[in-house]
Amino acid sequence: MYSIETVETVMDTIDVFVFCKDKKSRYTFCNERFAEAAGLDSKEQIVGKSDSDLIWANQYDFFREGDLKVMTGQPLIQVPELQIQVDGVKEITTSKSVLLTSDNSVGGVIGSFIENTGKTFVKKEGLFDPIKNRIRLGEGFSEEYLTYQEALVYFHLLHGMPNSQIAEAMFLSNSGIGYHVENLKRKLQCKRRGDLIAVGISTGLTHTVFDVFLNK
């Protein structure tokens, strides 16, 4: 039988980011790798914090939505996501499942993720046209294109920002941002807002969008 100390040592040395949350999405545990990604000095500092207290605070609503799905019986298995970390935006693959108490009631969420940045073997989808100031999506998306405003909305969305924050950043109305999000879903063949992140990662489109706006 391994001791708790041995288990924690293993969790702190593996190349996997591990965490636990309670029913209100407040962290109760994480390993050292996760603490480093969150910009904390030690894993003990995570206790009692929520995603709104960490470097990826703008993604709180997105992560909270995922937690709620897990706690209502919809586990997340190897889902591609983006996460803001201390050294930039990272592509990750996340798994979450419900954390049960001793009496088998829902106690929260246990999860982990691995980082995929620089490890995905997909071509960079999309091509920025500086003359027309738009991104051509290519054959995989019926030769559709993203206007500059649609691409900028997508850039903010990939950082986990809700429509209200995107509207404030772009000096547009909430309804205007909603219109652009619906266009993004149609052009990228997505049914849900959250699917836009998965499609961006799996096709490599995120690299094109980041190149356009991070290099300005």
CATH classification code of 127-214: 1.10.10.10
Residue 81 has pLDDT above 90, yes or no: no
Using alpha carbons, list the distances in angstroms from residue 199 to 5, 40, 89, 191, 196: 40, 30, 16, 11, 5
Q: Tokens 């924690």 label which residue?
A: 8
Residue 123 has pLDDT above 60, yes or no: no
Asked whether the beta carbons of 157 and 166 are under 8 A apart, the reply is yes
Quote the CA–CA distance of 181 and 184 in Å, as a whole number.
5
Q: What is the pLDDT of residue 194?
A: 77
89 versus 39: the higher-pLDDT residue is 39
**What are the pLDDT digits (tens) for 182-204?**
999 999 998 888 788 878 877 77
Residue 106, token pair as written in the block? 């829902």
Quote the CA–CA distance of 210 and 58 in Å, as a whole number.
17
- Select from 191, 215, 113, 199 the least CA-distant residue to 154: 199
**Cβ-based neighbours of 76, under 8 Å, separated by 6 or more:** 66, 69, 70, 94, 95, 96, 97, 111
Using alpha carbons, list the distances in angstroms from residue 161 to 11, 102, 156, 194: 31, 36, 6, 12
The architecture CATH gives domain 4-115: 2-Layer Sandwich (3.30)
52 versus 132: the higher-pLDDT residue is 52
124 band by pLDDT with thresholds 50, 70 and 90: low
Using alpha carbons, list the distances in angstroms from residue 148 to 133, 145, 158, 181, 209: 6, 9, 15, 13, 10
Residue 109 CA from chain centroid, whole number: 16
Domain ranges of the chain: 4-115, 127-214
Quote the CA–CA distance of 81 and 4 in Å, as a whole number.
31
Total-model pTM: 0.63
**Mean of per-residue pLDDT scores for the chain:** 85
Max avg pLDDT among 22-26, 79-83, 201-205: 22-26
